[in-house]
Amino acid sequence: MAAIYSLFIINKSGGLIFYKDYGSAGRMDTNDSLRLASLWHSMHAISQQLSPIVGCTGIELLQADTFDLHCFQSLTGTKFFVVCEPGTQHMEVLLKVIYELYTDYVLKNPFYEMEMPIRCELFDLNLSQAIQKDRVSLLGR
Amino acid sequence: MIGVGKAKQYANVLDKPLSRGRQEVSLSAFAFLFSELVQYNQTQVDNIAELERRLEDAGYAVGARVLELLCHREKGNRRETRLLGILSFIHSTVWKVLFGKVVYLITFCIWKDNLYQKRYVADSLEKGTEHEDEYMISEKELLVNHMGAFNCGAFVAGIVRGVLDSAGFPAVVTAHFVPIEGQQRPRTTILIKFAEEVLRREARLG
């Protein structure tokens, strides 16, 4: 039971810096994932302008028939969004955890260049551990 | 009167007494500072070996100062003259003060799984050459390696070398990755190889 289909991280200019799919439902090839990332970036920006509420920070949740998309934007403009099964709980918490992992293992890595694709072994390791733990606790509820 | 009860302000920072100081420093602050140190050195060198040497030199400076400070604070100005004495000083006091035992606060955990042992084991199965002058400090998850993909253990090796050199035990100290089965990440080992004169002195002292 894979509640999460895929995870995307995009930098402040809309380029995809990290993409991970979990299970066949979320799988797409590189070009598609890049396209989707920039599409989401534009939609997120446009939604901020369209919103009737002043001070809106963009789309946080998109609900469709076959999936949900939760998005978290950091103060620096880096966006973390996860595509999951409809009705999956606690995705915001998971996104915050992933953000913390990003700051700990990517930003403190001396060899990581800002806004570039993430290639950090420790980040991957801890990310899969976090997703696994989340999966286990989801099953437990 | 104005000023009564306020802490005495020292004109010269060298006049301030050597207090205990804050026991803990933010891990994130150290991580960013160390990351910047590595990045700065990376721009100045051509290859990895040179980078490691620079990190080691940086650590050497830290080690020399740490020895002075800890001798004053922790040991009451006693000087170590024996090999095992200085090694246990490094292994316990220096490691505790520099890296400490940190509990699960955030995502980090620094496991301290130190064991140091003589390079040759008095085990009948071990038939390798006896290296009397080599000692190892083995650590499961070295703090500075926690963030980076690359062996920043050179920095810690430099610290150890600085402490040993300033204490009068010249040695060559290097950091190595030792792959362990059953664990994804290799263990970091600090290998200390003492100079001839140290061993001769030690033998003389009995």
Judge: A122–B146 Cβ closer than 8 Å, yes or no.
yes
Is the confidence metric ipTM above 0.90 for this complex?
no
Judge: B147–A105 Cβ closer than 8 Å, yes or no.
yes
- At residue B17, φ and ψ (nearest 5 deg) are -70, 150
Q: Which residues contact B75 (CB under 8 A, 6 or more apart)?
A: B89, B93
Query: In this predicted structure, what is the pLDDT of residue A61?
Result: 93
pLDDT of B74 higher than 60 = yes
Q: Which of A94, A96, A101, A122 to mutate to test the interface with B (most CBs of B within 10 A)?
A: A122
Domains and CATH numbers, chain B: 26-121+129-205 (3.30.1380.20)
Query: In this predicted structure, what is the pLDDT of residue B130?
Result: 43
CB neighbour class for B193 (10 Å; exposed up to 12, middle 13-18, buried from 19): middle
| CATH code for the domain in which residue A43 is found | 3.30.450.70
Domain extent, residue A116, equals 4-140
How close A75 comes to chain B (CA, Å)?
A: 18
Cβ atoms A78, A11 nearer than 8 A: yes
Judge: B149–A122 Cβ closer than 8 Å, yes or no.
yes
Query: In this predicted structure, what is the pLDDT of residue B109?
Result: 21
- Nearest-angstrom CA–CA distance, A138 and A69: 17
Chain B residues with CB inside 8 Å of A106's CB?
Answer: none
Q: Is the minimum CB–CB distance between A133 and chain B shorter than 8 Å? A: no
DSSP label at A27? Answer: -
Please name the member of A100, A104, A125 whose beta carbon is closest to the beta carbon of B184: A125
- The CB-side HSE value for A7 (13 A sphere, CA atoms) comes to 24
Please name the member of B38, B106, B107 whose beta carbon is closest to the beta carbon of A110: B38
Q: For residue A33, what pLDDT band results from cuts at 50, 70 and 90?
A: very high
- Nearest-angstrom CA–CA distance, A57 and A39: 17
Query: In this predicted structure, what is the pLDDT of residue B112?
Result: 28
Percent of chain B's residues with pLDDT above 70:
61
Task: Out of A53-57, A59-63, A113-117, B145-149, pick the least confident.
Answer: B145-149
Domain count, chain A: 1
